[in-house]
Amino acid sequence: VGRSGWYTYDLITAGTINVGGNVYDYISSTSNTNAFVMMGTSVLNLNGTGIQTIKCSYFGMLANLTVTNNRTVDMEGYFYSPTPLASDLNIRAQKGLKINQMFIGGKTVNITGNVTQYVKNIELGGGTLNITGTFTAEGGMTKLGGGKLNVNGDYRIAKVTSRGELVSTEAGLDMTDSNDVVNVSGDFIIMTYSYATTSKVTMNAGKVYVGGNFESDTSKITFGSGNTVYMNGTAPQTVKLTNRKKIYNLVLGQDISKYNSDIANYAVNLVTNQTRITADAVTLSASSYVYDGTAKQPSVTVKVGSKTLTKGTDYTAVYSDNTAAGTAYVTIRGMGAYTGSVTKIFTINKKSISNLTMNLSQTSYTYDGTAKKPKVTVKDGSRTLVSGTDYSVSYSNNTNAGTASVTVTGKGNYTGTASLSFRIVKKGESNTIVKGDVNGDGSITITDITKAAAHAKGKKLLSAEELKRADINGDGVVNVTDITRIAAHVKGKKLLN
């Protein structure tokens, strides 16, 4: 067709052309509309033997193509058919095939070779399109209509430049039927123009299987809850989407370590083949501690079934808020063959201030009509507590002569109260320390015995001034000897000097 002249125009609208050999349309220009056109009810029937060849031009059109015995057809150039196929087709495209328009109409089309979609739509109508090679959609929409698109190679919704680079294009994909299936053994790359007016990628239903990488660089893409993407490759795979897009249901067929580390950012629902760590599988070595100023890290045991997992291999454990009194946390996250995140809590209780060492800057004053407020020093081991942060101080009976009281109340990381006392003596009276009068109330009683005994047992330590009054023999230690002498005085058996 068209071999003798540039302006040949062959239009066939009805009837059947039986061809036992090959069909060539020599009008190769994409701007020349003079081409071999079969429209309407016309049929091109290839009834030869072996493989026959069809080569169509850019504007060439085949309304109905049939091949006897379902033989393979060798196609070159362009394929343009505005009507549903009359039968299944087996196509070999050794030099590649450019499809301007194809209505499969529920049939099955097998194409071996690289395929480029141009300008208009490819509609499966519930049929199947199998491509063994690269499928590049540079224009039009691919509509499955409940059909299956199988690409044994890369599927690229993009345009290829003369230098072989992929750039954005006006092309798209429609998956709105629950029976839609797209199966890509290689990479699935989507680069639809963000300002496209006639094309977009809609993945609201059906299933997509990707053996390579899934990459989308467009805002013209939507994902619905009815669509699921399965990353089912056997080598490392990457999922990347721009414009804050997320695949609604993303299923990983391999261990999660085979995918990009941020893959969860590109999915609303991420399903992996990893074993999920649940709260029931995690136990802590301790559920509560008493505050001591150091970070608390109870050991974690994770047991899935009969297997005890290994920290650093199967999971990580991160502690937080685990120094101050209150609720502390440890978060366990699966890794490797395990997934899931579990947060366990444990408690750091406030420390009782009554067991701490306390001293007054002065324990004896002479009455002068003013309130006396000796400075309080509170120590937790080697750490000196901060007044107003760790404790508060209140004074009572601290103006007139007699025994004054100091009450220390824990706050922040400390709780409880402790009492100290000091003396205010009458003006002119001796202000010396009275041995045995441990609490400094002016008399030696059973209370003093009790305080000295509590100190000796380590239950409640005495202040520095109280130690001086309880250390009867002056050896610098309050022990059973001192307690015995105080008790003897209280019983009247042997008075202290």
pLDDT of residue 414 exceeding 80, the answer is yes
Find, among 18, 54, 15, the residue nearest to 36 by Cα.
54
pLDDT tens per residue, range 238-249: 999 999 999 999
Residue 429: the pLDDT is 65
Label residue 35 by pLDDT band (50, 70, 90): low
pLDDT tens per residue, range 426-454: 887 656 677 888 887 778 889 999 999 99
Q: CB–CB of 233/253 below 8 Å?
A: yes
Residue 363: the pLDDT is 79
Calculate mean pLDDT across residues 81-88: 88
Residue 181: the pLDDT is 96
pLDDT tens per residue, range 174-200: 999 999 999 999 999 999 998 888 899
Residue 2: the pLDDT is 46
Calculate mean pLDDT across residues 258-274: 91
The architecture in CATH of the region 279-349 reads Sandwich (2.60)
Distance of alpha carbon 332 from alpha carbon 328, whole angstroms = 14
pLDDT of residue 30 exceeding 60, the answer is no
pTM, to two decimals: 0.58
Residue 34: the pLDDT is 56
Looking at per-residue confidence, does 387 or 338 come out higher?
Answer: 387
Please state at what angle helix 480-490 crosses helix 446-456, rounded to 10 degrees.
170
**Does CATH place domain 434-497 in 2.30.30.240?**
no
| Structure tokens, 329 | 């946390």
pLDDT tens per residue, range 101-160: 999 999 999 999 999 998 899 999 999 999 999 999 999 999 999 999 999 999 999 999
pLDDT tens per residue, range 322-357: 999 999 999 999 887 788 899 999 999 999 998 898
Label residue 59 by pLDDT band (50, 70, 90): confident
Residue 388: the pLDDT is 96
3-state SS, residue 153: coil
CA separation (Å) from 435 to 124, 442, 474, 496? 106, 10, 10, 7
3-state SS, residue 487: helix
CATH class of segment(s) 350-432? mainly beta
The CA-based dihedral angle spanning residues 208, 212, 218, 223, taken in that order and rounded to the nearest 10 degrees: 20
Rg (CA), the chain: 45
Residue 5: the pLDDT is 43
Residue 7: the pLDDT is 43
Lowest mean pLDDT of 5-14, 17-26, 101-110, name the range. Answer: 5-14
pLDDT of residue 82 exceeding 80, the answer is yes
Calculate mean pLDDT across residues 393-420: 95
Label residue 6 by pLDDT band (50, 70, 90): very low
Lowest mean pLDDT of 56-65, 108-117, 140-149, 394-403, name the range. Answer: 56-65
By the 10 Å C-beta count (0-12 exposed, 13-18 middle, 19+ buried), 235 is classed as: exposed
Label residue 290 by pLDDT band (50, 70, 90): very high
DSSP characters over 376-404:
EEEEETTEEP-BTTTEEEEEES-SSSEEE
On average, the pLDDT of the chain sits at 90
Label residue 492 by pLDDT band (50, 70, 90): low
